[in-house]
A = this chain, B = another copy of it.
């Protein structure tokens, strides 16, 4: 993964703050420092508060975006208009990949912040120009798109072939990797039952019952809006060791 050069104080982008030291993104991997500077210079940096919609499914894909700090969720809408969680967007994740198509396309999903965040935004046309100048960007873009594909396929498999219990376990384990904070007691997650239920596509009631069950078994501890995974391995075993 690309790491920003931490040696020298990073140059301030034309219209925004620099990227935090140590920031990594799959999209910028393998670029030279000067290429990274050029790419960042073409972006607009923006702070966004919690629960802000960064892109709206169906609207023309006008920007390529990159989450710098914070947390967002990537949703698609059902035919009835309910939102359907697809994945977390964490710092370093790009979204709005539809903007890089030659023909203007609509966004495939809605992205909404779950915490105060900051993003880099490239306007469609200037992104096209940048991607022509830096071939490595195109390669990275394709890799990122492929990663979306693979994740989407996993979600699909999970939703259609796993039980509610397994989906919850999977979501907890994945979330632990992506948005968890490791501590002495275990891995801490800032998730309400409601958000977790939504992410695992389970009713809040099922989520509550299952979490209580795992709490009883000592696998995790709960408090309001927080989950502490004490034994993530026991959750993993619910997934893999399913067939005896």
Q: A88 CA to B146 CA in the complex, in Å? A: 19
Q: Which one of A3-11, A41-49, A149-157, A217-225 contacts B? A: A149-157
Q: Mark A74-86, 1 if CB is under 8 A from B, else 0.
A: 0011111010101
12 A-B pairs in the complex with CB atoms less than 8 angstroms apart: A76-B153, A78-B157, A80-B243, A84-B157, A84-B160, A86-B153, A86-B156, A97-B146, A100-B142, A103-B143, A108-B146, A159-B160
Q: How many residues on the A side are at the interface (Cβ–Cβ under 8 A)?
A: 41
Q: A242 CA to B81 CA in the complex, in Å? A: 12
Q: Mark A128-152, 1 if CB is under 8 A from B, else 0.
A: 0000000000110111011011101
Point out the residue from B79, B100, B156, B240 that lies within 8 Å of A155, measured CB to CB. B156
Known: A79-B162, A80-B243, A239-B79. A98 touches B146 (CB 8 A): yes
Is A101 engaged at the interface, CB distance under 8 Å to the other chain?
A: yes
- Whether B162 contacts A159 by the Cβ 8 Å rule is no
Known: A145-B145, A239-B79. A201 touches B139 (CB 8 A): no
Q: A150 CA to B143 CA in the complex, in Å? A: 17
Q: A101 CA to B26 CA in the complex, in Å? A: 14
Q: A78 CA to B243 CA in the complex, in Å? A: 13
CB distance from A87 to the nearest CB of B (A): 11
Known: A108-B150, A138-B138. A143 touches B101 (CB 8 A): yes
CB distance from A135 to the nearest CB of B (A): 9
Binding site for B on A (CB under 8 A): 76-80, 82, 84, 86, 97-98, 100-103, 105, 108-109, 138-139, 141-143, 145-146, 148-150, 152-153, 155-157, 159-162, 201, 239-240, 242-243
- Whether B143 contacts A145 by the Cβ 8 Å rule is no
Q: A141 CA to B146 CA in the complex, in Å? A: 12
CB distance from A153 to the nearest CB of B (A): 5
Point out the residue from B82, B141, B156, B243 that lies within 8 Å of A156, measured CB to CB. B156
Q: A148 CA to B138 CA in the complex, in Å? A: 18
Point out the residue from B101, B153, B161 that lies within 8 Å of A152, measured CB to CB. B153
Known: A80-B242, A138-B138, A243-B80. A102 touches B155 (CB 8 A): no
Q: A78 CA to B108 CA in the complex, in Å? A: 24
